[in-house]
């Protein structure tokens, strides 16, 4: 048994999740691959969104995968970092916007 929670080599084994449920696994990967195809958004734009979301959900596998994917698509490090700031802004904003709820409650209790 490994003594760390994450092993970079496990990313290569992602497809193995099908072994314990082929039908749902197949459906997931079919859906996953369709999502990243060229559409109204380019595959490159989707890659940047995926990179930002990877940081929000803090998935090390996804971060490895979409840094690599972005590089392949010619995404620059400046574009990658800007995408992360979008994630950070939404994440920070999501905390702070609840400040209105805090203020409402405070005003009601002690206004």
Partner 1 sequence: MIKKSLHKRENELANSHRQLEILSNGIFQNGGLPTFKTKISETGQFPLKAKTLEVLQINLGYMCNQVCSHCHVDAGPDRKEVMTRETMQYCLEAIEGSGAHTLDFTGGAPEMNPNFRWFVEEASQLGINDFIVRSNLTIIEANKTYYDLPEFFKRHNIHIVSSLPHWTRGKTDKQRGAGVFEKSISALKKLNAIGYGMPDSPLRLDLVYNPSGAFLPANQNAMEKDFKKILLEEFGIHFHHLFAITNLPISRFLDYLIASENYEDYMYQLVESFNPEAVRNVMCTNTLSVSWDGYLFDCDFNQMLELPVRHKIKHISEYNQELLEGRDIVISQHCYGCTAGAGSSCQGTLA
The residue ranges that bind partner 1 (CB under 8 A) are: 12, 38, 42-44, 68, 71-74, 76
What's the rounded Cα separation, in Å, for the pair 99 and 26? 43
Nearer to partner 1 (CB atom), residue 43 or residue 102: 43
Nearer to partner 1 (CB atom), residue 44 or residue 87: 44
| Total residues found in the chain within this entry | 111
Nearer to partner 1 (CB atom), residue 12 or residue 108: 12
Distance in angstroms between the alpha carbons of the first and the last residue of the chain: 57
Across the chain, which distance is largest between two alpha carbons, in Å? 59
CB of 51 to partner 1, least distance (A): 14
CB of 43 to partner 1, least distance (A): 7
- Phi, psi for 18 (deg, rounded to 5): -70, -25
């Amino acid at each position: 048994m490994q003594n760390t929670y994450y092993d970079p080599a496990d990313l290569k084994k992602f497809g193995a999740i099908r072994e314990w449920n082929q039908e749902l696994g197949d459906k997931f990967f079919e859906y996953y691959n369709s999502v990243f195809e060229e559409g109204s958004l380019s595959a490159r734009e989707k890659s940047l969104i995926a990179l930002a979301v990877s940081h929000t959900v803090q998935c090390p596998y996804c971060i490895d995968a979409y840094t690599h994917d972005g590089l392949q698509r010619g995404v620059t490090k400046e574009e990658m970092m800007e995408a992360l700031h979008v994630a950070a802004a939404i994440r920070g904003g999501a905390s702070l916007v609840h400040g209105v709820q805090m203020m409402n409650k405070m005003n009601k209790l002690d206004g």
